[in-house]
């Protein structure tokens, strides 16, 4: 049975680990004469112990959203509630204390580590920053290496001595050091071979099961997303156009953009082809997005109303929302 076919206890679902309301991230351009709307009103929630995946084409705002969620990028507007505490309103010591509860895994593990530091120092750096004692740090590093299936002697080696998959395991170990509740994973397996991808994804799922971790998983690979997710949010030009359970989004996609993305995924069955809904044209610039529905310039269902009214998100099923006038 798939890990995500096992229902969580009602108590775990009652209070979201993460709740985001009206998140925006705008960048002034040309001295403020123009505004690039990288994230433009994202709202979502992630229950404890579950995985929400953000999917969409390059440039849709996925990574910027992920960085805003843990204040690696400063949001322009909105609320970001981690365990009920509004990160967007925090500064100084309050925000520093909350950083122990949230971590980020980057796409390229090698560039996210100091190549001159031994693995031991890479993993224990967060522990030293928060004042843990030497004996406790040594014990914790040994535990973390074992947790990600690396040998104890890995602690005395340097990043260049490891394969890509092993480096990502080191980064995961570092992310676990302070016992976080939320981890944002930004394309964490896209740079790895397919067989290694599966190993790292299975490791993340095992850690979620054992430690109760909550993930925001950013990816363009819908096959990986289908395997790891509880819920899926589809982003287009800084906004969420569809969000729902994994089974709802993959089994009953409602937005034409979602259907086009899924149609582009190769079928595992030889000779079987999904109905093709080819995306035409390029994603518009967030500097000058289309009026009304941002997807209308590429949408096969577009009507005059789409240019005049921005479709609000609405429930089409208890577990599924879509922002489309005609879904």
Asked if residues 20 and 43 have their Cβ atoms less than 8 Å apart, the reply is: yes
Give the C-alpha separation, 201 to 195, whole Å. 10
> Given this model, what pLDDT does residue 8 score?
43
Domain ranges across the chain:
3-107+184-322
| Two tokens, residue 207 | 């850690």
- As a whole number, mean pLDDT of residues 289-311 equals 95
Phi–psi pair at 321, nearest 5 degrees = -120, 150
> Given this model, what pLDDT does residue 7 score?
44
**pLDDT tens, 200-247?**
999 999 999 999 999 999 999 999 999 999 999 999 999 999 999 999
Asked if residues 231 and 52 have their Cβ atoms less than 8 Å apart, the reply is: yes
Give the C-alpha separation, 192 to 270, whole Å. 25
Does the pLDDT at position 84 exceed 90? yes
> Given this model, what pLDDT does residue 200 score?
96
> Given this model, what pLDDT does residue 175 score?
97
Nearest Cα residue to 196 out of 184, 204, 186: 204
At the second CATH level, the architecture of 3-107+184-322 is: 3-Layer(aba) Sandwich (3.40)
Cα 76 to chain centroid, rounded: 19
> For the whole model, what pTM was predicted?
0.91
Cα 319 to chain centroid, rounded: 19
For the chain, give the number of residues.
Answer: 327
**pLDDT tens, 261-299?**
999 887 644 445 445 456 778 889 989 999 999 999 999
Neighbours of 158 (CB within 10 A): 15
């Amino acid at each position: 049975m798939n890990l995500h076919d096992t229902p969580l206890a009602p108590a775990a679902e009652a209070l979201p680990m993460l709740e985001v309301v009206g998140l925006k991230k705008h960048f002034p351009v040309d001295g403020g004469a123009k505004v690039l709307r990288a994230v433009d009103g994202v709202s979502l929630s992630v229950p404890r112990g579950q995985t929400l995946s953000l999917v969409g084409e390059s440039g849709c705002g996925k990574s910027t959203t992920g960085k805003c969620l843990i204040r690696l990028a400063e949001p322009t507007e909105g609320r970001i509630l981690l365990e009920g505490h509004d990160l967007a309103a925090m500064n100084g010591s309050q925000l520093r204390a909350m950083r122990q509860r949230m971590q980020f895994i980057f796409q390229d593990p090698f560039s996210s580590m100091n190549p001159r530091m031994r693995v031991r120092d890479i993993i224990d750096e967060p522990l030293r920053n928060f004042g843990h004692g030497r004996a406790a740090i040594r014990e914790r590093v040994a535990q973390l290496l074992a947790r990600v299936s690396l040998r104890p002697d890995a602690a005395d080696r340097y990043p260049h001595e490891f394969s890509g998959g092993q480096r990502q395991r080191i980064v995961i170990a570092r992310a676990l050091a302070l016992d976080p509740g939320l981890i944002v994973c930004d394309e964490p397996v896209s740079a790895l071979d397919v067989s290694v991808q599966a190993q790292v994804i299975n490791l993340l799922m095992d850690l979620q099961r054992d430690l109760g971790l909550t993930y925001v998983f950013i990816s363009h690979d819908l096959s990986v997303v289908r395997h790891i997710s509880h819920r899926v949010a589809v982003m287009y030009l800084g906004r969420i156009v569809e969000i729902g359970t994994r089974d709802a989004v993959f089994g009953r996609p409602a937005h034409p953009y979602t259907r086009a993305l899924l149609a582009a995924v190769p079928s595992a069955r030889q000779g079987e082809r999904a109905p093709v809904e080819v995306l035409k044209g390029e994603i518009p610039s967030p500097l000058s997005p289309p009026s009304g529905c941002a997807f209308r310039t590429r949408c096969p269902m577009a009507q005059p109303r789409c240019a005049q009214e921005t479709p609000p998100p609405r429930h089409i099923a208890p577990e599924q929302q879509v922002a489309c006038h005609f879904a």
